[in-house]
Amino acid sequence: MSSSDLITDRLVLRPWTAAEVAAVVDGLRQAHWADDFPAEGDRVIAGVIARDPDALGAYGQRQIIERSTGLVVGAIGLFWPPGDGRVEFGYGVVESRRGRGYASEAARAIVAFALAAPDVDTVVATVELANPASARVLENAGLRRVTTGAETAEYATD
């Protein structure tokens, strides 16, 4: 583990390495990944990181690692830098590990980390209305719905 890792009861949230980003972008498998990692969202995030290496910083994107197995089971991260005291985050857990509370556990950790960061007063996330499980993750992480659009809702900390 490194000093930039966020540790929870069951997870480690570790910044992506450049090699891991390249492996996802190039479609290469790594031994320390769950069988269904990367999911589509992870490939999108790896592409974003590949275009903007600053997304790898301490306040950037992280892999979600299951402590009991050491396998990468998802990704979570802040879309840094904050604007007007607000920073957005996003996350995803592979299908084989859903329903275990990992997304909520990781979200709580990243929200607490973000709120302790300089220039951050509020943490926000957007969820599709068709994804009520993701809305529950945000609520479990201490966010509440603040706006609702035609297809999405925004959640924020108080």
Find the farthest-apart pair of alpha carbons in the chain and give their distance in angstroms, rounded. Answer: 42
pLDDT of residue 57: 83
Rounded distance between C-alpha atoms, residue 156 and residue 47, angstroms: 26
pLDDT of residue 2: 59
Reported pTM = 0.94
Cβ neighbors of 3 (< 8 A, separation 6 or more) are none
pLDDT of residue 58: 85
Domains of the chain, each with CATH number or no CATH = 6-118 (3.40.630.30)
Per-residue confidence of the chain (158 residues) as pLDDT tens digits? 557 899 999 999 999 999 999 999 999 999 999 999 999 999 999 999 999 888 888 899 999 999 999 999 999 999 998 999 999 999 999 999 999 999 999 999 999 999 999 999 999 999 999 999 999 999 999 999 999 999 999 999 98
pLDDT of residue 1: 55
Cβ atoms < 10 Å from Cβ of 96: 14
pLDDT of residue 123: 98
Instruction: Using DSSP bridges, classify how beta strands 71-83 and 61-66 pair: parallel, antiparallel or unpaired.
Output: antiparallel
pLDDT of residue 77: 95
